Amino acid sequence: MNAETLGELFYAMLRIRLVEERIAELYAEQEMRCPVHLCIGQEAVAVGVCANLSPDDYVLSGHRSHGHYLAKGGNLKTMLAELYGKVTGCAQGKGGSMHLVDLAVGFLGAAPIVGSTIPIAVGAAFGSALRGERRVAVAFFGEGATEEGIFHESLNFAAMKKLPVVFVCENNLYSVYSPLSVRQPAERDLMAIAAGHGVAAERGDGNDVAVVYALAGEAAARARQGGGPTLLELTTYRWREHCGPLYDNDLGYRSEAEFEGWRQRCPVAHAERTLGARGALDEAEIARMHAAIAAEIDDAVAFAKTSPFPKPSALLEHVYAQ
Amino acid sequence: MTRELGFAQAINEALDLCLANDPAVYVVGLGVPDPKGIFGTTLGLQQKYGSDRVMDMPTSEGGMTGVAIGSALVGMRPIMTHQRVDFALLAIEQIVNQAAKWHYMFGGKMRVPLVIRMIVGRGWGQGPQHSQSLQAWFAHVPGLKVVMPATPYDAKGLLIASVEDDSPVIFIEHRWLHNIVGHVPEGLYRVPIGEARVVREGRDLTIVAMSYMTLEALRAAELLRADGVEAEIVDVRTVRPLDEALILASVRKTGRAVALDTSWKTAGFAAEIVARIAEEVFADLKAPPRRAALPECPTPTTPALANRYYPRAADIAAAARELLGVAPDGALAVPATGLPLDVPDPSFTGPF
């Protein structure tokens, strides 16, 4: 990967990291009154995949969607306003962190029922194919979703219709606190499961943005060329608690050693080191990036905090489309 | 001369016209293009519109509902069909969490113009899992509309209105209505969603019905007429949004109400009707409202038990007489037809 592309991907990852860290910091103020599922540690998947998409392509996501939304180009101000429950939020405050949307960039929506948006992504691809368009639809989900029946139903249909879908499984090893060992047999092979459904599949390091970018690039190209769907299993790790701003290793469901091992493999730091080693990024440039992103976040937070709440009359609006 | 058409043919004609009228409309469901064509309702449509617009599907009710929702988000107008309400329960997550909520939870940015047809089975031993009538489940959920036509005219007009609606609509057909015949105009016309209809005027009591129970209500009204009782029948046609004004106006006039249901009594549609009457027109009531609904057990399969399961015209008439304190005319109370009770008419010989 050339340094310019890697530099862009690094910036996008750093931006997501700093947004999430700011949310974690501000959460204690108790003004963001909705659950938040931070993606710190998993930024490379969102960025590496979405860098292969155009605004015309569709993305759907689940409960941990901030990174996907931002990587797809979703508006930061309306995202933060949504977390603050404001009328200027991307869903006018009715959705919150778990229901981000930005139609201008093809981020069709997110919903926190595990696996539930996978067929909706397939449907977006199917609908656009019926309309004679050629858009790629990406479904982001965790490995827990591969335990849901609807995941298999979605692969089956996408393969049968050769739909332009990229199924992106972020395997972060835990469904809330439940490890893989209590949820899947040790010999379970997602690649073989995909193959059984007639879906092309690749596995890769979800903490290496260059790897993700390359795999997603092949999958998106296959989709655009009429080659049908691809499943990507990208292994990664959630640093903070399942839901909320804190670290939760003290609970004992995972070991400090395991966490440290993954923290050493930080996707943002990895890209930063690679760029540094190539002489494509220096301390001053990194500092400029941090400052620029911090200023953008300051702006967005101010926008969110000073925006008005929805009027009481909004309660019964939008139940039915007019 | 008025044109007569069967209920199933009226559905078929509505689908045909919607497909012709809007290229975004497509029809999907397990068995849609098969030789039986969903009890005749989808016959000939794939031949006419091709397999991209009228299609079969995998036996994946949940997944395919998500696919239909996704396609609706990007501009399509899917009409999904399930041969039984019971089968659609595999899709309840997609219907309740997703279809019903995308407009609201994204602040009005998204819309899901999706129609889901479901059929209520009855008789010929349909049993516990081929006969449930779960309109109350769907009507409980804000964001869904629930339609239950009783006549071929309403079936066609309400289906067209449902397809043209920008919100998800649960369109519930009763299997015992598919063979009935009635006046159906040619061409596109709409019966507005959310408008009830007075099917029969009367002064003594109001019978609130929907779907197949409207037919039983009409039969009950004939029995009651022999007792000198004139029943008014309101066919709600749409369960949600409910035309409360029409129902309440009728009850204000008659002072008595019997609410019918194709489903169970507890937490059901008839319970909702009685609750609204009690809340809004209590002072006008001359007697406590009554319900005629299914007993609190799953549908038994054997005709020996199923024949005692469904409320019929005679039961409705009995409930009405109790309200009015009228003694039945013994000679006319229950006409002994000698016909089996587990079929809608003698032409129905099963199995589905």
Beta pairing partners, A146: none
Q: Are B63 and A322 a contacting pair at CB < 8 A?
A: no
B108 contacts in A (CB within 8 Å)?
Answer: 92, 317-318, 321
End-of-domain residue from the set B155, B183, B211: B183
Residue B130 is a catalytic residue? yes
Torsion, Cα of B151, B152, B156, B158 (10° steps): 0
Interface of B with A (CB under 8 A): 24, 26, 52, 57-58, 60, 62-76, 93-94, 97-98, 102-113, 142-143, 145, 165-167
End-of-domain residue from the set B127, B154, B183: B183
The model's pLDDT over A20-38, given as tens digits with 9 standing for 90+, comes to 999 999 999 999 999 999 9
Are B111 and B229 contained in the same domain? no
B67 contacts in A (CB within 8 Å)?
Answer: 119-120, 122-123, 126, 154, 157
Are B69 and B166 contained in the same domain? yes
Question: What is the per-residue pLDDT for B334?
Answer: 53
Given a contact cutoff of 8 angstroms between Cβ atoms, the answer to whether A156 and B52 are in contact is no
Tokens 């040619």 locate to B186
Q: Identify whether A316 is part of a domain.
A: no
**What count of other Cβ atoms lies within 10 Å of the Cβ of residue A277?**
9
Which of A61, A102, A113, A126 should be substituted to probe chain B, the one whose Cβ sees the most B Cβ atoms within 10 Å? A126
DSSP B175: G
Q: Are A150 and B104 a contacting pair at CB < 8 A?
A: no
Given a contact cutoff of 8 angstroms between Cβ atoms, the answer to whether A35 and A309 are in contact is no
Interface of A with B (CB under 8 A): 58, 60, 89-95, 99, 101, 103, 108-109, 111, 113, 116-128, 130-131, 137, 149-150, 153-154, 156-157, 160, 317-322
Tokens of B130: 């081929």
**ipTM of the complex as predicted:** 0.97
Beta strand B257-264 with B238-240 is unpaired
Q: Are A319 and B142 a contacting pair at CB < 8 A?
A: yes
End-of-domain residue from the set B159, B183, B207: B183
Q: Are B65 and A119 a contacting pair at CB < 8 A?
A: yes
Given a contact cutoff of 8 angstroms between Cβ atoms, the answer to whether A234 and A168 are in contact is yes
Question: What is the per-residue pLDDT for B336?
Answer: 56
Are B130 and B203 contained in the same domain? no
Looking at this protein, which amino acid is placed at residue B176? W
Given a contact cutoff of 8 angstroms between Cβ atoms, the answer to whether B297 and B264 are in contact is no
A103 contacts in B (CB within 8 Å)?
Answer: 109-110
Q: Identify whether B189 is part of a domain.
A: no
- A101 vs A110: CA distance, rounded Å: 7
Q: Are B73 and A117 a contacting pair at CB < 8 A?
A: no
Given a contact cutoff of 8 angstroms between Cβ atoms, the answer to whether B265 and B294 are in contact is yes
Q: Are A320 and B60 a contacting pair at CB < 8 A?
A: no
A124 contacts in B (CB within 8 Å)?
Answer: 70-71, 73-74
CATH code for the domain in which residue B153 is found: 3.40.50.970
Q: Identify whether A28 is part of a domain.
A: yes
Q: Who's near A288: CB < 8 A, 6+ residues apart?
A: none
Full residue range of the structural domain in which residue A34 is found:
3-301
- Into how many domains does chain A fold? 1
| Per-position pLDDT tens, chain B of length 352 | 689 999 999 999 999 999 999 999 999 999 999 999 999 999 999 999 999 999 999 999 999 999 999 999 999 999 999 999 999 999 999 999 999 999 999 999 999 999 999 999 999 999 999 999 999 999 999 999 999 999 999 999 999 999 999 999 999 999 999 999 999 999 999 999 999 999 999 999 999 999 999 999 999 999 999 999 999 999 999 999 999 999 999 999 999 999 999 999 999 999 999 999 999 999 999 999 999 999 999 999 999 999 999 999 999 999 999 999 988 765 444 555 667 888 888 777 777 7
Pick the closest to residue B156 from B180, B186, B129, B134 (CA basis): B186
Q: Identify whether B41 is part of a domain.
A: yes
- Into how many domains does chain B fold? 2
Q: Identify whether A317 is part of a domain.
A: no
Q: Identify whether A86 is part of a domain.
A: yes
Segment A272-278 shows an average pLDDT of 97
Q: Are B109 and A101 a contacting pair at CB < 8 A?
A: yes
The active-site residue out of B82, B130, B174, B178 is: B130
- Helices B61-73 and A118-130 sit at what angle, rounded to 10 degrees? 50
- B260 vs B216: CA distance, rounded Å: 9
CATH code for the domain in which residue B312 is found: 3.40.50.920
> CB-CB: which of A89, A120, A130 is closest to B26?
A130
Are B161 and B281 contained in the same domain? no
DSSP A11-46: HHHHHHHHHHHHHHHHHTTT-S-S--B--TT-HHHH
Tally of residues, chain B? 352
DSSP A163: -
Q: Identify whether A80 is part of a domain.
A: yes
Are B12 and B161 contained in the same domain? yes
CATH code for the domain in which residue A245 is found: 3.40.50.970
A95 contacts in B (CB within 8 Å)?
Answer: 105-107
Are B28 and B162 contained in the same domain? yes
Q: Identify whether A221 is part of a domain.
A: yes
Given a contact cutoff of 8 angstroms between Cβ atoms, the answer to whether B146 and B107 are in contact is no
Full residue range of the structural domain in which residue B40 is found:
4-183
Q: Are B70 and A124 a contacting pair at CB < 8 A?
A: yes
The model's pLDDT over A150-205, given as tens digits with 9 standing for 90+, comes to 999 999 999 999 999 999 999 999 999 999 999 999 999 999 999 999 999 999 99
- Helices A76-83 and A283-306 sit at what angle, rounded to 10 degrees? 50
Tokens of B252: 């204000």
Are B217 and B176 contained in the same domain? no
Cα dihedral sign, B267-B270-B274-B277 = positive
Pick the closest to residue B227 from B334, B312, B310 (CA basis): B334
Q: Identify whether B259 is part of a domain.
A: yes
